[in-house]
Chains A and B, each alone.
Chain A
Amino acid sequence: MKRPSLGAILLGLIPFAATCFSVALWDRIYPMVLGLPFNFFWLALWLFLTPLCMWGAYRFERTTDDPNDEGGAH
Chain B
Amino acid sequence: MTPSIIALTVICIIVVIGSLLGFLARFHHEMDLEQWTVGGRGFGLVLVWLLMAGEIYTTFTFLGASGWAYLKGGPVLYVLGYAPLMYVVSFYLLPPIWEVGRKHGLQTQADFFELRYGSKYLAAFVALVGVVFLIPYLQIQLTGLGLIVEVASFGGIHRTPAMIIGFSLVAGFVFVGGIRGVAWVSIVKDVLMVISVLLIGLAVPHIYFGGIGNMFAALASAKPAHLIMPGSTRNLGHAWYITSVFITALGFYMWPQYFACAFTAKSGNILRRNAAIMPLYGIMMTLVLIVGFSAVLVMPGIRDSNLVLLAIVRKTFPSWLLGVIGGAAALTAMVPAAIQLLSGATLYAKNLFRPIFAPNMTDQQVAKVAKIMVVVLTLGALVFAIYTSPTLVDLLLLGYAGVTQLFPGVALGLFSKRVTTAGVFAGVVTGISVAAVLMLTGHDPYDGLNAGFIALAFNFVVTGVVSLLTPARVAGFDETLPALASSPPGTP
14 sample A-B contacts, Cβ–Cβ < 8 Å, listed by A number: A2-B485, A20-B81, A20-B245, A28-B228, A34-B213, A43-B80, A44-B286, A47-B84, A47-B283, A51-B277, A54-B91, A57-B276, A72-B102, A74-B484
Which residues in B have some Cβ–Cβ distance to A below 8 Å? 44, 74, 77, 80-81, 83-85, 87-88, 91-92, 95-96, 99-100, 102, 211-214, 216-217, 220, 224, 227-229, 238, 241-242, 245-246, 249, 266-270, 272-273, 275-277, 279-280, 282-283, 286, 289, 414-415, 477-478, 483-485, 487, 489-492
A63 touching B275 in the complex, CB below 8 Å, given contacts A19-B85, A23-B242, A72-B267? no
B220 touches A68 (CB 8 A): no
By a CB distance below 8 angstroms, the chain B residues around A4 are: 92
B44 touches A68 (CB 8 A): yes
A35 touches B280 (CB 8 A): no
B83 touches A20 (CB 8 A): no
A32 touches B220 (CB 8 A): yes
B267 touches A54 (CB 8 A): no
B227 touches A55 (CB 8 A): no
CA gap between A50 and B89 in the complex, in Å? 12
- A51 CB to nearest chain B CB (Å): 5
Which residues in A have some Cβ–Cβ distance to B below 8 Å? 1-5, 8-9, 12, 15-16, 19-21, 23-24, 27-29, 32, 34-37, 39-40, 43-44, 46-48, 50-51, 53-55, 57-65, 67-70, 72, 74
- A64 CB to nearest chain B CB (Å): 4
Interface SS, B side: helix
B490 touches A63 (CB 8 A): yes
B229 touches A23 (CB 8 A): yes
- B419 CB to nearest chain A CB (Å): 12
By a CB distance below 8 angstroms, the chain B residues around A64 are: 490-492
CA gap between A15 and B278 in the complex, in Å? 14
- A43 CB to nearest chain B CB (Å): 4
